[in-house]
Amino acid sequence: MGHLLHVVVPTPAHSTVVEPLSYLSELPLLPGALVRVPLGRREVCGVVWDAPAGGGPQPDPGQLRAVGAVLGGLPPLSAAWRRLVAFAAGYYQRSLGEVALAALPPQLRGLDAEQLARRLQRKAAAAVEAVRSAPPALTDEQAQALAAIGAEPGPFLLFGATGSGKTEVYLRAVQALLDRDPEAQALVLVPEINLTPQLQARFEDRFGASAVVALHSGMTNPQRLKSWIGAHLGRARIVLGTRMAVFASLPRLGLIVVDEEHDPSYKQQEGARYSARDLAVYRARAEGAKVVLGSATPSLESWHACERGRYRCLEMPARIGAGALPTVRLVNMNHQPHGTLFSPPLLAAISQRIARGEQALVFLNRRGYAPVLACNACDWKSECSHCSAFRVFHKIDRTLRCHHCGFTERVPRACPSCGNVDIAPLGRGTERLEEQLVELLADARRPDGEPARIARMDADSTRHKGALEEQLAQVHSGEVDVLVGTQMVTKGHDFRRITLVAAVNPDGALYSSDFRAPERLFSLLMQAAGRAGRDAARSAASEMWVQTFSPEHPLFAALKKHDYPAFAAQQLGERRQAAMPPFAFQALLRADARTQEVAQAFLQSAADAAAALEGSARVTIYSPVPMTVQRVANVERAQLLLESGSRPALQAFLSAWQPVLQGLRLRGLIRWAIDVDPLVI
Ligand code: ADP
Ligand code: ZN
Ligand code: ZN
């Protein structure tokens, strides 16, 4: 007779299956072992789990199926890893199996025991030892931050200006960890794949290429498996990755770094909607590791946690080499002729940079040529037939493209509604910005007498593999004088010769219905400003230009002084008064359906059923509302906001609510999901 095993398997979202499932095995297997098990008619990869508390239901052994192959040779996933997965599944209201299996590299899930054995045998490629560069002498601020990280438990918020040397602090904190315990492991998270190569190079330069592995979705499956195994076997000292890496198996985890901790990309936007930053803090505490969150513009959640004494704030206000932060210049667009894209003083300033052989960076948060194409004779506009949104005009290939569902058509020769040939773009995107700059700067000359070179960088121009790297190299080598783009250009890149950064039209965020829009705008503008004058020799003359119709907005007053604390105080004041996060905790129930009525009816039934549930007295449930973009790809979307002053009350309520939601069946309902601590409402 075999051993009873509890196994978590990839379960569909909202399945009512009680996890983990029970199987029989001839061998006793430890929790954390990987096995292949039959599930319905399929065979799937599963993780042996701990027995449910209290032993769980006693299944009839006669009914149980046997586990298939055991992926031997792989040490079991640790108890700490299983606790992390269980916490994430519980907190974000998803199944254990979904979270556990999604946390493993895709290829591992598909391998059989023999294939895996072959992988494990493969020796790690002979390490090419980098010529390790000598670390610079620390500044006083860096030394103080490191001393605190060494001496105190944390969590730490490293609040350092762009260019203040935060990365050097991360490198030294890892060094200190490895000096203490050469077998320890560090996890370093970055928000974007684009930023991993740069950071990876710095870590490899310091610790040798064999010590560092990367984990992100831009890697091929075999690469990911290799990195994952390196981490899991404890061979990799440093794992550097995007949000998914927070789930890496790290048996000797001693330190977690979350760089640019305020970045919204740390929040997963589908499936289990987890925050990798928040999980990093949880994981560090659970595993006795230290955690350092770094940012020049921390999330208001983290800033507030410092104010409450829950996080320790380490400040590094000075830029390395005493490079000054750029002067902020606001252009009052109310004084410019209607429809002005570039105000004359901004243009003059850009021309001047070009003449001096310096570079400028201009950004606008909208790609394409114009957000709408409209008929001048009737009221036709380039709406998407599948979404409640306009299709964007892309002049380069003369298409109308929906940025929500991807629906693309050639631009019509004449108005599809009235036949008028006079159809025109409304508004502007990066393509149009580029086109106009080329015209407006036709007379600008570089020091070598050549005309100015203008390039664009956005999701369209970097779609092809390698395009981004190529474009970045062009900017670095000085081939480009003015770089136009979306916020993509503002993140992290270390462009030495940029002395002017301009936000052409950032006002939208000031009047957004999303209460986090100002926070995001402020951090975007601060980041962008940080791109200018990184070369101390030029920093004195560096400028950040903002064209706005609301120059008196308090956000800009704080920006002019590069005063994040003032901005945070003002925003937190408003949030406290309105009882919004971080002074309250939120969750969203989202529903997708064939019609808006069904989506809202589902949410209304869910709300009606809530009153009787545990914790409901401490949870405010608002009314169902359509989402801002209500229809995408012919699916109607609505949401219901929940709020509570108590995180545990909200959690208890959501757990009690789950089975009720699973029981609600409506014709035309496509799917629903809970988003805990949503970032966009
Ligand atoms: P941040 O991550 O805060 O933007 P970085 O760590 O990238 O800043 O540092 C900015 C620049 O200063 C980098 O080129 C880095 O090599 C350099 N740097 C960092 N610390 C020191 C130091 N103590 N002495 C000299 N240069 C330093
Ligand atoms: Zn028309
Ligand atoms: Zn569409």
Measured CA to CA, the distance from residue 505 to residue 360 in angstroms comes to 16
Write out pLDDT tens, residues 468-517: 778 778 877 878 899 998 887 777 566 778 889 999 988 888 888 889 99
403 CA from centroid of ligand 3 (Å) = 7
Structure tokens at 237: 């000292």
| CA of 296, closest atom in ligand 1 | 3
| CA of 320, closest atom in ligand 1 | 12
| CA of 138, closest atom in ligand 1 | 23
361 CA from centroid of ligand 1 (Å) = 22
- Which residues crowd ion ligand 3, with CB under 5 Å? 384, 386-387, 402, 404-405, 407
Identity of residue 80: A
Write out pLDDT tens, residues 178-237: 999 999 999 999 998 777 788 898 999 999 988 999 999 888 898 999 999 999 999 999
Which of 265, 193, 198 minimizes the C-alpha distance to 223? 193
Name the residue at shortest CA distance from atom 9 of ligand 1.
165
193 CA from centroid of ligand 3 (Å) = 27
pLDDT at 626 over 70: yes
What's the farthest any 2 CA atoms get from each other in the chain? 87
Name the residue at shortest CA distance from atom 10 of ligand 1.
163
372 CA from centroid of ligand 3 (Å) = 13
| Ligand 1 pocket, residues with Cβ under 6 angstroms | 136-139, 142, 160, 162-168, 320
| CA of 139, closest atom in ligand 1 | 23
- Whether residue 447 contacts residue 357, with contact meaning beta carbons closer than 8 Å, is answered with yes
Q: What is the pTM of this model?
A: 0.92
Instruction: For residue 241, list its beta bridge partners.
Output: 189, 215
| Share of residues in the chain with pLDDT > 90 (%) | 62
Quickly list H helices, 561-646: 564-577, 596-610
151 CA from centroid of ligand 1 (Å) = 23
Structure tokens at 578: 């309105």
Measured CA to CA, the distance from residue 388 to residue 396 in angstroms comes to 24
CA distances in angstroms from 602 to 126, 231, 592, 634, listed in the order given: 58, 44, 9, 18
β-strand 359-363 against 482-485: which pairing, if any? parallel
- Whether residue 487 contacts residue 429, with contact meaning beta carbons closer than 8 Å, is answered with no
435 CA from centroid of ligand 2 (Å) = 26
Name the residue at shortest CA distance from atom 24 of ligand 1.
136
Measured CA to CA, the distance from residue 437 to residue 482 in angstroms comes to 9
Measured CA to CA, the distance from residue 219 to residue 228 in angstroms comes to 12
Write out pLDDT tens, residues 330-367: 999 999 998 888 999 999 999 999 999 898 999 888 88
Q: Is the dihedral of CA 408, 413, 416, 421 positive or negative?
A: positive
| From 129-143, 377-391, 429-443, the region with the lowest mean pLDDT | 129-143
- Whether residue 354 contacts residue 481, with contact meaning beta carbons closer than 8 Å, is answered with yes
Q: Around Cβ 140, how many Cβ atoms within 10 Å?
A: 9
Ligand in closest contact with the CA of 377: 2
